[in-house]
Structure 1
Amino acid sequence: MTEIKQDMKTAPFEERETIISYERQTETWHIYTDEPKHARKYEKYVTHPQRKGYSPSGQLIMLEGDIDKGTVSITKKWQLTDEQRKKHSKVLQKARISQRASNRTE
């Protein structure tokens, strides 16, 4: 059963936390977060939410629950050089132009 809290206040920036733990016997990940960005990111993976909290505007700001038979990975944020950023920008721009052209022909 999911406990839903409405009209919660977002935790102060310096007090927000995300805790992810793993139980080997059941192969289950447990997550608790009061960081809105993380709550929205992991919501679709939580199969059995225990608690959810929403801001007065209806935005998910807190989540606690289990991720069954899933995998959690954390990767280092990419640090692109200016040259790499320009290259990625050109590739993306070409893809957008190509997408627009294909949409016009449909």
Structure 2
Amino acid sequence: MTEVKQDMKTAPFEERETIISYDRQTETWHIYTDEPKHARKYEKYITHPQRKGYSPSGQLIMLEGDIDKGTVSISKKVRLTEKQKEKQRKVLQKARISHRVNLQTEKTGIN
């Protein structure tokens, strides 16, 4: 059963934490977080949450539960150079233009 707390106050920025632990015997990851960004990120992976907390506006701000038979991975943030960023912008712009052309073609029925 999930314990749900409504109208919780968000923890102060410097006190927020995310704890992820692994139980080898049950192959289960346990997650506790009072960092709203992490709570939203992991919510969809937790099958049976133990606790959830919501802000007065209804936003999920705290989560505790298990990820059964899942995997958790952590990676470094990718830092792009200005040259790489410019290349990415051009690729994205080209894809957007191509997408618009495809939408126009579908609307008009022209092949």
| Alignment partners' CA distance in 2, 1:104 and 1:64 | 47
| Alignment partners' CA distance in 1, 2:104 and 2:4 | 45
The structure with more radius of gyration? 2
| Alignment partners' CA distance in 2, 1:99 and 1:61 | 36
Q: Per-residue deviation at 1:101?
A: 1.6
Q: For 2:23, give the aligned amino acid.
A: E
Confirm whether residue 5 of structure 1 aligns to residue 5 of structure 2. Answer: yes
* Counterpart position of 1:60: 60
Decide which structure has greater strand share. 1
SS at match of 2:74: coil
Q: Which ranges in structure 1 are unaligned for 5 or more consecutive residues? A: none
Q: Per-residue deviation at 1:100?
A: 1.7
| Alignment partners' CA distance in 1, 2:77 and 2:98 | 29
1:37-48 paired onto structure 2 within 5 Å = 37-48=37-48
| Alignment partners' CA distance in 2, 1:59 and 1:37 | 10
* Counterpart position of 2:84: 84
List, as ranges, runs of 4+ consecutive aligned residues in structure 1 with deviation greater than 4 Å: none
The two structures have a TM-score, normalised by structure 2, of 0.93
Q: Per-residue deviation at 1:105?
A: 2.1
Q: For 1:35, give the aligned amino acid.
A: E
Alpha-carbon RMSD: 0.7
Confirm whether residue 103 of structure 1 aligns to residue 103 of structure 2. Answer: yes
Q: Which ranges in structure 2 are unaligned for 5 or more consecutive residues? A: 107-111
Q: For 1:26, give the aligned amino acid.
A: T
Q: For 1:20, give the aligned amino acid.
A: I
The two structures have a TM-score, normalised by structure 1, of 0.97
Q: Per-residue deviation at 1:88?
A: 0.7
Aligned residues: 106
> Percent of aligned pairs with the same residue?
84
